[in-house]
């Protein structure tokens, strides 16, 4: 699949931050990075890692897809910030994964044809399908040993609802003030607005099937 042309991601992050009345330092504090790095990302001088971008969209309450949707409005549409090639892409793997939500994936997705996104926090997402008009992500998720859903180690929250079923390995789910050990055959379901984090403290990968409804980030 060819990579989509990506609009100025940093400008869209800045727009979302300002719309929420959040200062640059406040966003950096919530994400767990320096204010200098956030500034460089917003001006296009630095490209964020996938986990940092995931954390930013989580804090801002926006979907990753919205940053890569060429149809979305932006006060700087057509303006390329420093370091961004007007004909190139930023994080092409993520741009490909955040494909046009109107595009059908399936009805059959063979094992070797899945769209895959590897996060630098030790997590791999494999998209199992998408039906246009259904606001649901259908994913095979792998947490490598030491992997966590949050690169910064903090809890995250976003809109939507999560349903998960673990097929192998073991995960620690922190949900609000509670902590659960999820083992093969166990299932989880909760509102994603509840602060949460998954981590794999074991020595083997933890693998499961996840459905995430609402704005996926």
pLDDT at 75 over 50: no
Query: What is the CB neighbour count within 10 angstroms for residue 185?
Result: 9
Question: ∠ CA 196-25-78 to the nearest 5 degrees?
Answer: 95
Per the listing, tokens 């890569």 go with 68
Mean pLDDT of 50-75: 66
Name the least confident of 65-74, 128-137, 144-153, 207-216. 65-74
Mean per-residue pLDDT, 146-162:
77
The pLDDT of residue 124 is 87
Averaged pLDDT for residues 26-34? 85
Mean pLDDT of 65-90: 41
Q: Cβ(156)–Cβ(149) under 8 Å?
A: yes
Task: Decide which of 17 and 193 is more confident.
Answer: 17
Residue 184 pLDDT exceeds 50: yes
Q: pLDDT tens, 84-108?
A: 333 223 344 455 565 555 678 888 9
């Amino acid at each position: 699949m060819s990579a989509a042309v990506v609009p100025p991601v940093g400008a869209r992050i800045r727009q979302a931050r300002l719309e929420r009345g959040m200062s640059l330092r406040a966003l950096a504090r919530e994400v767990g990075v320096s204010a200098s790095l956030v500034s460089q990302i917003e001006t296009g001088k630095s490209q964020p890692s996938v986990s940092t971008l995931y954390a930013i969209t989580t804090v801002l309450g926006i979907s990753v897809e919205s940053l890569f949707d060429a149809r979305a409005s932006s006060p700087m549409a057509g303006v390329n910030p420093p370091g961004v090639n007007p004909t190139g892409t930023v994080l092409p793997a993520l741009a490909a994964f955040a494909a046009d939500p109107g595009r059908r994936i399936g009805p059959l997705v063979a094992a070797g044809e899945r769209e895959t996104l590897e996060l630098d926090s030790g997590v791999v997402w494999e998209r199992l399908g998408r039906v246009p008009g259904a606001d649901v992500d259908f994913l095979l998720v792998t947490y490598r040993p030491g992997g966590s859903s949050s690169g910064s180690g903090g809890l995250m929250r976003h809109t939507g609802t999560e349903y998960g079923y673990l097929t192998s390995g073991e995960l620690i789910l922190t949900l609000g003030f509670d902590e659960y050990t999820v083992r093969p055959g166990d299932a989880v379901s909760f509102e994603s607005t509840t602060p949460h984090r998954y981590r794999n403290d074991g020595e083997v990968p933890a693998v499961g099937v996840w459905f995430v409804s609402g704005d996926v980030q």
